[in-house]
Amino acid sequence: MNLLRYKYHPMREDRCAHVRDRILYHLRWDILPVVAMLILLGWVSLQAGKMIDASKHSSEVSVGQVE
């Protein structure tokens, strides 16, 4: 019954604008900071991986020079 009522009486424009504003609010303050943090964490882990690879390479070169 309720579904039929919504079918014949669509949402008013002000209600639609309110719903859109709430979605944008949650997107801005809840979702985007998490995405930014995950991107930053991924970048930091890539940099750490590069540093680890560089240190492995430098230790292999020094071992080769000793031999």
- Look at the chain and report how many structural domains it folds into: 1
* 67 part of a folded domain: no
SS3 9: coil
pLDDT above 60: residue 1: no
Name the more confident of 8 and 51.
Answer: 51
Q: Look at residue 64 in the predicted model and tell me its pLDDT.
A: 53
SS3 1: coil
CB environment 33-66: b (16+ within 10 A), e (fewer): eeeeeeeeeeeeeeeeeeeeeeeeeeeeeeeeee
Name the more confident of 36 and 61.
Answer: 36
Which of 12-21, 27-36, 54-63 bottoms out in mean pLDDT, i.e. has the lowest? 54-63
Assessment of whether the complete model's pTM goes beyond 0.75: no
* 48 part of a folded domain: yes
Range(s) of the domain holding residue 14: 2-62
Tally the residues of the chain: 67
Q: Look at residue 61 in the predicted model and tell me its pLDDT.
A: 55
